[in-house]
């Protein structure tokens, strides 16, 4: 392995000396730019969640703590901090272990959270005083606790835990895995943590996920799916209301499709669901209202050209956090859909995780200048937004590329498409530069105008090295209302991917990018797009990096763990319904167009991926190697990783390989360049 200093210098030197064709880039020499590096991208901390205390004086929040990729290949932990609103100070409370599911315990001066206990060999409920000190174990179950919620009395707990899998009675010296069988369900329980009474089991079949107490504590709303499969988790969760004394179901809600949140009305007579409009809705981004006695929920604000991302019901109405295009907003609406009021809207805050008290709102957000931090707004009617945490001070010394929202017409004229563009650091107007097109997954997702850099998102890493980076919100993306989100269904790789190419053409026409130096990358559905651009649209793309992506829509149906979700919210048709359908799905697959392939492609995949099986990457690799052996192609598998890399070393390895591939083929525009060494330049300390 080469040393870290040598690696950095060699990459900078390569970036400085590579020619950019007929239009030389008039920017500060790359070797002199103190920008974001792959190592920076994987070390950033992010605030992940925040909760305001009942009196509005404290905010408990969690922060990711990435592992050192040169020492530990493990996932980032989350540490607990408390922000004092009056003194404007943030104090670390739990930093020796991962804390999740943080809550202020009702009626107590303490915070509770879930964390794995080495002493107990399972996840237990911890409590720590607001005055500080050492955390204690408040409650342990016979198995790990998966989630929990507090009764208003602060003594009774609803929680979930996975059942014990059945043990094999085989006398063989090994145990075979029987696929998708003997998978335990996630059961729900109710217990008083201050007594020695045994937990009451919630009496329902299947797997319990959400548990939400009514404001008066007399009822408990839950969601339950038929099995613990991920497909049922997405498409099969139903809302039920429970008697907390007996654990019996007393009411059932006839909701269909995805669900993300249950919220009680202040008088405990109604429920608001953040859920899908119907079984075909790709997201849980609508608001539905239903009586707590059961029935069919009714959607409100159906014509909203955005996506609801969080709701809270107070005596003044339903407060919400939402996306509209690339912007984020906070507002309120009455439960009948009237009197909608936007309190705060920002094009430069990518918001998440809102919390309310009577006089204070908090939320987590990133901006184009920094990753997720904690913000507060003290005036609910006219919020004055203030950033209150600073967890990546090293960013102050980094040079960043300009970031802006762009809008361009789709070729069929049906929609205007939004996207986000990051320019190279110190970009000079009129200069044409190489472009990396970063395609989001889903497609039921979208980019907000916030921090756009991560281990698999080139963003400011690429801007440091002289690239522009384009993030298109192609049709099928969220944040634009129901029509836009549904518009890509039953049209795999069709107009949705044409929208991406239209965005590239728009940037060429604007004189920003070099048409001969267009690259593409993305994960999952974005990996599908990367494979499509390197085969069907290969003449347009000089380099591709495909991550956990789809290459064959026929075999995808037989290997993914979400076949029903694929049907209901993507294809809207089963491929076996006719002979014509089989061929249609094949023609919507990158492997069908390998004869067009001329784009050097780096393919990377987690070996344990159940969403998009690693065979999807292997198929494209094998087709290119056999049918187009002159095209540079490399396949990288990550042991122990699934549908995305969670571990520190795996993330850094990915970032280095991605940038190395683009530097070799995209920056030069030379599709025939020799492949870089298989051994990624992963330096040691």
Backbone angles phi, psi at 355, to 5 degrees: -140, 145
Residue 28 has pLDDT above 60, yes or no: no
Asked if 329 and 321 touch (Cβ cutoff 8 Å), the reply is: yes
Confirm whether 574 is domain-assigned: yes
CATH of the domain at 657: 3.40.50.1820
Confirm whether 323 is domain-assigned: no
Going by DSSP bridges, is the β-strand pair 220-225/327-333 parallel, antiparallel, or unpaired?
unpaired
Tokens 């208003």 correspond to: 152
Dihedral through CA 521, CA 306, CA 327, CA 391, nearest 10?
-70
Confirm whether 150 is domain-assigned: no
For the stretch 293-335, pLDDT in tens is 999 999 999 999 999 999 999 999 999 999 999 999 999 999 9
pTM of the predicted structure, to 2 decimals: 0.92
Confirm whether 9 is domain-assigned: no
Asked if 470 and 502 touch (Cβ cutoff 8 Å), the reply is: no
CA distance 388 to 670: 47
Residue 380 has what pLDDT? Answer: 63
Domain extent for 636: 399-665
Residue 579 has what pLDDT? Answer: 86
For the stretch 656-679, pLDDT in tens is 999 999 999 999 999 999 999 999
CA distance 303 to 78: 38
Confirm whether 296 is domain-assigned: no
CA distance 478 to 245: 41
Residues present in the chain in total: 685
Asked if 434 and 458 touch (Cβ cutoff 8 Å), the reply is: no
Residue 650 has pLDDT above 90, yes or no: yes
Closest CA to 551 of 582, 571, 524: 524
Number of domains in the chain: 1
Closest CA to 44 of 392, 463, 389, 393: 392
What band does 382 get if pLDDT is binned at 50, 70 and 90? confident
Residue 62 has pLDDT above 50, yes or no: yes
Residue 680 has what pLDDT? Answer: 78
Residue 376 has pLDDT above 90, yes or no: yes
Confirm whether 121 is domain-assigned: no
For the stretch 440-470, pLDDT in tens is 999 999 999 999 999 999 999 999 999 999 9
Ramachandran sector of residue 247 (left: φ over 0; alpha: ψ -120 to 50; beta: rest): left
For the stretch 116-130, pLDDT in tens is 999 999 999 999 999
Confirm whether 444 is domain-assigned: yes
Q: Provide the H-helix boundaries in 4-151.
A: 4-17, 38-43
For the stretch 481-526, pLDDT in tens is 999 999 999 999 999 999 999 999 999 999 999 999 999 999 999 9
Peptide bond preceding 277 in cis form (omega within 30 of 0): no
> For residue 300, what are the β-bridge partners?
287
Which token pair is 373? 């931090």
pLDDT averaged over every residue in the chain: 93
The H or E element that residue 18 is part of is none
Q: What is the mean pLDDT of residues 30-41?
A: 87
Confirm whether 518 is domain-assigned: yes
């Amino acid at each position: 392995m080469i040393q870290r200093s040598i690696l950095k210098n060699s990459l900078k030197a390569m970036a400085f000396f590579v020619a950019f064709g007929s239009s030389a880039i008039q920017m500060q020499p790359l070797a002199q730019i103190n920008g974001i590096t792959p190592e920076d991208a994987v070390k950033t901390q992010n605030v992940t969640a925040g909760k305001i205390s009942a009196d509005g004086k404290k905010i408990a929040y969690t922060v990711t703590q990435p592992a050192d990729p040169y020492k530990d290949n493990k996932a980032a932990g989350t540490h607990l901090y408390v922000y004092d609103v009056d003194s404007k100070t943030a104090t670390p409370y739990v930093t020796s272990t991962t804390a999740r599911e943080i809550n202020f315990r009702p009626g107590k001066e303490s915070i509770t959270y879930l964390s794995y206990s080495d002493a107990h060999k399972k996840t237990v409920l911890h409590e720590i005083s607001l005055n500080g000190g050492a955390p204690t174990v408040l409650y342990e179950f016979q198995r790990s606790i998966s989630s929990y919620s507090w009764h208003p009395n602060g003594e009774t707990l609803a929680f979930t835990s996975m059942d014990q899998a059945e043990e094999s009675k085989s006398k063989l010296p090994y145990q075979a895995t029987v696929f998708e069988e003997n998978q335990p369900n996630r059961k729900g329980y109710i217990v008083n943590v201050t007594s020695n009474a045994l937990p009451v089991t919630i009496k329902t079949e299947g797997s319990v996920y959400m548990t939400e107490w009514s404001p008066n504590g007399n009822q408990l709303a839950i969601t339950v799916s038929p099995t613990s499969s991920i497909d049922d988790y997405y498409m099969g969760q139903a809302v039920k209301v429970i008697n907390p004394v007996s654990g019996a179901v007393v009411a059932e809600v006839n909701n269909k499709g995805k669900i993300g949140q249950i919220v009680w009305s202040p008088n405990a007579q109604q429920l608001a669901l953040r859920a899908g409009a119907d079984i075909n809705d790709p997201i849980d981004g609508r608001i539905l209202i239903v009586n707590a006695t059961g029935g069919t929920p009714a959607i409100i604000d159906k014509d909203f050209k955005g996506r609801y991302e969080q709701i809270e019901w107070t005596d003044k109405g339903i407060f919400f956090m939402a996306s509209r295009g690339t912007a984020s907003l906070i507002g309120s609406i009455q439960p009948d859909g009237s009197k909608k009021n936007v309190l705060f809207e920002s094009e430069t805050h990518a918001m998440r995780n809102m919390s309310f008290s009577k006089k204070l709102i908090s939320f987590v957000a990133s901006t184009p200048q920094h990753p997720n931090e904690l913000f507060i707004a003290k005036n609910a009617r006219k919020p004055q937004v203030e950033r209150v945490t600073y967890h990546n001070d090293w960013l102050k010394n980094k040079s960043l590329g300009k970031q802006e929202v762009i809008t361009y017409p789709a070729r069929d004229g049906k929609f205007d498409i939004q996207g986000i563009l990051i320019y190279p650091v110190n970009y000079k107007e009129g200069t044409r530069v190489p472009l990396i097109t970063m395609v989001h997954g889903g497609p039921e997702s979208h980019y907000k105008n916030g921090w756009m850099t991560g281990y698999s998102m080139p963003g400011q890493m690429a801007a440091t090295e002289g690239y522009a980076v384009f993030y298109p919100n192609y049709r099928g993306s969220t944040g634009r209302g129901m029509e836009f989100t549904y518009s890509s269904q039953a049209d795999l790789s069709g107009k949705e991917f044409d929208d991406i190419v239209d965005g590239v053409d728009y940037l060429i026409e604007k004189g920003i990018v070099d048409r001969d130096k267009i690259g593409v990358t993305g994960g999952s559905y974005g990996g599908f797009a990367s494979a499509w651009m390197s085969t069907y649209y290969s003449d347009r793309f000089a380099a591709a990096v495909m991550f956990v992506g789809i290459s064959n829509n026929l075999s995808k149906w037989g290997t993914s763990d979400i076949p029903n979700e694929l049907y209901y919210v993507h294809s809207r048709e089963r491929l076996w319904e006719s002979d014509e359908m089989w061929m249609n799905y094949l023609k919507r697959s990158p492997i069908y167009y390998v004869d067009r392939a001329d784009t050097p492609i780096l393919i990377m995949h987690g070996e344990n991926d159940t969403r998009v099986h690693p065979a999807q990457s292997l198929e494209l690799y094998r087709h290119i190697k056999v049918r187009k052996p002159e095209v540079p192609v490399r396949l990288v598998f990550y042991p122990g990783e699934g549908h995305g890399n969670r571990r520190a070393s795996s993330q850094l390895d990915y970032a280095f390989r991605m940038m190395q591939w683009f530097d070799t083929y995209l920056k030069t525009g030379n599709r025939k360049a020799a492949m870089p060494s298989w051994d990624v330049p992963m330096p040691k300390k």
